[in-house]
Amino acid sequence: MYGSKHFLLHRLFPILFTISTLLLFFTMPAQAATSQFIMQGNTSEKVIALTFDDGSDGTNFSKILTILSNHQVKATFFLTGSGTRSHPAIVKTAVQNGHDIGNHSFNHADFTTLTPSQMANQLAQTETIVKNTTGKTTKPLFRAPYGATNLSVLSTVGNAGYTYTVHWTVDTLDWTGNSATTISNRVLNALKPGAIVLMHTGDGASGTPTALNTLIPRLKNMGYRFVTLSQLLNLTPLPSTGGATYTVKAGDTLSQIALRHNVNLAQLIALNNIKNPNLISIGQILQIPGAKPIPSNSSYTVKAGDTLYKIAKAYNVSVSSLATANKISNINLIRVGQILTIPGVTVKPVTQYTVKPGDSLYAIANRFNTTVHNLVVANNISNPNLIRVGAVLIIK
């Protein structure tokens, strides 16, 4: 599976992809839903995504899961249908451990040699097997076998619901039998924020387990955090360096809570698995992504070292509104023990849009000066190419 053809395609892919893109540019139907080709995360943060392609043998899969668990690292596994059928228990464990999964075809076929119907069949077979095994979908992540793709492939997988075709920033070439040292050096030499690292679970990647035990602590010491592809692509929140919870009160809205805690509304929705952003219940406990706990009462007692600016920022209100609410004439003079009234936060109401005939997410995003990705996350859309007339969308 990972022989000379694999090596040749890895080397020739950039040239082949460019040529095929030019050849197919004028022949692709305008309505085709092209999958987004990803080689690196769009971030300046020191985060890195470990990804593993799983073939039919999966010899090192279990070892890799143990190492990742020992180091408390989450990764992404691209699964083949044949591999999942061969070792279902290991795949199920990967999902139970919180790792991301994506579709890597049924039997590692070169998609550039297949017809659209054959590609769709490969994807569907794997999706069915994986979902029956784990209860989790492989969408929206796809990785092309051999990294071989073109516009026809991107269009077909996009229409199948795989909105991201994930390539890599660093190819460890571990499947060739590279030593742990060589694997580690290939990663370190090409390291950059948002890097996507390609590794494998098969027998040929014998140096990978040892390399992971060396690489993970070293990268952590360099200040890097390990993320899944869903986190890297902002489909789910990045791992928090600290967090809080908030109990919903009468009159609360999600947008108000997000504003109060200075967090992203879409991340708040995703972290709490909220299906309808307009429906939250009194007493519901929400996880706040990456936020420090903020007192939720309507008054605050001044402590040593406090300033009006600091308090206003903590409650996400303006200094002037805080001063007005407490009849403070000199904003530089507050005393320890003074009880301040926190004024209500005025929030912008959530904008909604009802889908009309002929609409697409792209057109709606342009109309409201936002992105397709923001709409997908805010509305929990599994397939951006399928929206129904009459659906009410949250505009974010």
Residues that are catalytic? 53, 200
Nearest to 292 by CA among 257, 244, 249: 244
- How far is 365 from 263, CA to CA, in rounded Å? 22
Report residue 297 CA to chain centroid gap. 33
Residue 205: C-alpha distances to residues 56, 202, 210 (Å)? 13, 6, 10
Length of the chain: 396
CB atoms within 10 A of CB 305: 7
CB 312 within 8 A of CB 318: yes
- How far is 291 from 244, CA to CA, in rounded Å? 6
CB 368 within 8 A of CB 360: no
Encode 239-281 in three state secondary structure: CCCCCEEEECCCCCCHHHHHHHCCCCHHHHHHHCCCCCCCCCC
AA identity, residue 10: H
Q: Strand 299-301 relative to strand 339-341: parallel, antiparallel, unpaired?
A: antiparallel
| Three-class secondary structure of residue 197 per DSSP | strand
Residue 144: C-alpha distances to residues 6, 23, 113, 190 (Å)? 12, 20, 12, 22
CB 266 within 8 A of CB 272: no
- What token pair was written down for 10? 């890895």
